[in-house]
Amino acid sequence: MAAARFGTGTGDGRLAEVQPDSDRDGRAELVTTAPYENDSAGFAWVLDGAASGVTTNGSWSFGAAALGASQDNACFGSLLGK
């Protein structure tokens, strides 16, 4: 299954994409980002897939700093799906 991308949202540049089972549990995940969140540092959220659909159980979030990158205008998550 190919990833499906949804459009941009509000002024934080929110993007969402369905990932085809990136954690290999047999269910797709929903990844959403807000590149302009926190003064353009950016942030990402990963919502796990369950038999009943997307769930917050087991979900996690991270930003540029979690990967050791600079947060200054990083726009982390702006390249989702590219």
As a whole number of angstroms, the distance between CA 80 and CA 77 comes to 6
Q: Contact at 8 Å (CB) between 45 and 54?
A: no
Locate the domains of the chain by residue range.
4-67
On the question of pLDDT at 58 being above 80, the answer is yes
On the question of pLDDT at 79 being above 80, the answer is no
pLDDT band at 82 (very low <50, low <70, confident <90, very high): low
Short-list 61, 58, 66, 56, CA closest to 33: 61
Contacts of 1-6 spanning 24+ positions with Cβ under 8 A:
1/28, 3/81, 5/80, 5/81
* pLDDT, mean of residues 9-32: 71
Short-list 13, 53, 4, CA closest to 36: 13
